[in-house]
Amino acid sequence: MSLAQFFHYQNGQLHCEDVALATLAKQVGTPCYVYSKNAIRENFQSFRSAFERVDPLICYAVKANSNLSILRLLKEEGSGFDVVSGGELFRLMKIGADPNRVIFSGVGKTVDELKMALEMSVLSLNVESVEELETLISLSREMGVFPDISLRVNPDVESPTHPYISTGLREHKFGIDLDRIEHITALLKETQSVRLTGLGFHIGSQILDVQPFMDAFTILLKVAGELEAEGFKIEHLDLGGGIGIPYQDEDEPDLSVYADLLAEHQGDRRILFEPGRYIVGNTGVLVSTVLYRKAANEKTFLIVDGAMNDLIRPSLYQAYHEIRPLHQKSEDSMVVDVVGPVCETGDFFARDRRLPPLDPGDLLAVMNAGAYGFVAASNYNTRPRAPEVWVDRDHFEVIRERESLEDCIRGEG
Ligand code: LLP
């Protein structure tokens, strides 16, 4: 997988596939999200081939980028889906996804959401607590259904990532503590209302080292063995998402050692994955126009028309995103803060970044914005959300229109 292939300079102009981003931006306006359709396909295929030996069911994590066109594309590629809300399930209904390839995860499913998943009869409901299991059991009884469930285990494994997106430690709200499994199995033995078919974990996101996944897998195997000794049949192991991508110059994770371990121990169990970022992270950019180059006492600010409401990752996780000018310039010559118009000091895309000289009217791309970009956009400061566009070779298509100001106030009295 090479980002260079899909976003590259040609005659000094940054292209997405065969489309010059500046040409696209002229027609669509800025800020706008642009995705490479073929990069999404290629990432999906590369994930599949990395784990080919274990023949997994890949359930794309809808939360990473839930645009209907992207979901349809992944469905065509043979992907299943992982959702965490009724809203995401609704999207899957809209694209006619096969419920038998859908996992419903999440720590706080409401009764209505559980009902929706039960009516659809999804492949697995990933249960995250004793309390949720109790609700699910009574709901299943009421509805006269007999759903397959999986337990999301909290393996208490540390993962090297930002603390806000690390989820596999005991202190985190996610998953079932290992010492509560016994309680759960007692409940499961008593009930005839749900069927335990799987175990899973999701230890966090943007993890570039495979060791924590392998540690968690080893723990999961142990739990599976214990449950099987008690008479449960664990048909699948859901290894979550979380595999990271390089944003700066980090090495890509070595998936082959992980795949080896899985192949050695999977037995007749099916492996499930829930990748999000790996599939779409490097396939999108956020294009913005420079409004001002503001000289201040301590700093130079490049004020652009995109902002934290469009892409919140730098503000929320101090995440690094490469920034490239749309028109290639010879030298990096200025050190600037790239900031948006939102009234918060935390509204920035980059700080103290060395960039080529950029002037008002110039365009730039915030790279690797395909995952957790548009999906986390808001109308803060009553800023309409940016459009989403995708490129397929030499043509592009708007796959979500820019919001209007009327859209922003819809439903208000
Ligand atoms: N499965 C579950 C249960 C999850 O909670 C997540 C992500 C995934 C799968 C997909 O993880 P991925 O493969 O994309 O790492 N907004 C943050 C990331 C939040 C991740 C939340 N859960 C960011 O921008 O970095």
> How big, in percent rounded to 5, are the helix, strand and coil portions of the chain?
35, 25, 40
pLDDT tens, position by position, 333-345:
899 999 999 999 9
Q: 3-state class of 312 per DSSP? A: coil
Atom 22, ligand 1: residue with shortest CA distance: 205
Q: Which CATH class is domain 7-36+281-409?
A: mainly beta
pLDDT over 70 for what percent of the chain?
Answer: 98
C-alpha to C-alpha distance for 136 and 24, rounded to whole angstroms:
48
Q: For ligand 1, is residue 105 a contact (CB within 6 Å)?
A: yes
Substitution site in 44, 172, 205, 320 for ligand 1 pocket (most atoms within 8 Å of beta carbon): 205
pLDDT over 90 for what percent of the chain?
Answer: 87
Higher local confidence (pLDDT), 101 or 171? 101
- Hunting for tokens 């570039």 — which residue is that? 208
Residues of the chain with CATH 2.40.37.10: 7-36+281-409
C-alpha to C-alpha distance for 181 and 311, rounded to whole angstroms:
39
Q: For ligand 1, is residue 64 a contact (CB within 6 Å)?
A: yes
pLDDT at 4: 57
User: Phi/psi zone of residue 40: left (φ > 0), alpha (ψ -120 to 50 degrees), beta?
Assistant: alpha
Q: For ligand 1, is residue 166 a contact (CB within 6 Å)?
A: no
pLDDT tens, position by position, 358-378:
999 999 999 999 999 999 999
Structural element, H or E, at residue 46? helix 37-50
- pTM summary value: 0.96
- Say whether pLDDT at 184 is over 80: yes
- Hunting for tokens 């049949």 — which residue is that? 233
Over range 199-218, report the average pLDDT: 95
Q: For ligand 1, is residue 208 a contact (CB within 6 Å)?
A: no
- Say whether pLDDT at 271 is over 60: yes
Write out the two tokens for 203. 């230890």
Atom 8, ligand 1: residue with shortest CA distance: 241
Atom 24, ligand 1: residue with shortest CA distance: 372
Q: For ligand 1, is residue 276 a contact (CB within 6 Å)?
A: yes
Say how many Å lie between the CA of residue 48 and the centre of ligand 1. 19
Terminal Cα-to-Cα distance of the chain (whole angstroms): 49
- Say whether pLDDT at 179 is over 50: yes
Residue 103's nearest CA partner among 243, 275, 226, 280 is 275
Say how many Å lie between the CA of residue 280 and the centre of ligand 1. 12
Say how many Å lie between the CA of residue 205 and the centre of ligand 1. 5
pLDDT at 2: 53
What would the DSSP string read from start to end of 100-142? GGEEE--S---HHHHHHHHHHT-SEEEE--HHHHHHHHHHHHH
Closest ligand 1 atom number to CA of residue 167: 5
Q: Which CATH class is domain 105-275?
A: alpha beta
Q: For ligand 1, is residue 206 a contact (CB within 6 Å)?
A: yes
The residues that are catalytic are: 343
For β-strands 284-295 and 363-366, DSSP reports them as: antiparallel
Residue 109's nearest CA partner among 124, 93, 92 is 124
Atom 16, ligand 1: residue with shortest CA distance: 372
Residues of the chain with CATH 3.20.20.10: 105-275
Say how many Å lie between the CA of residue 409 and the centre of ligand 1. 30
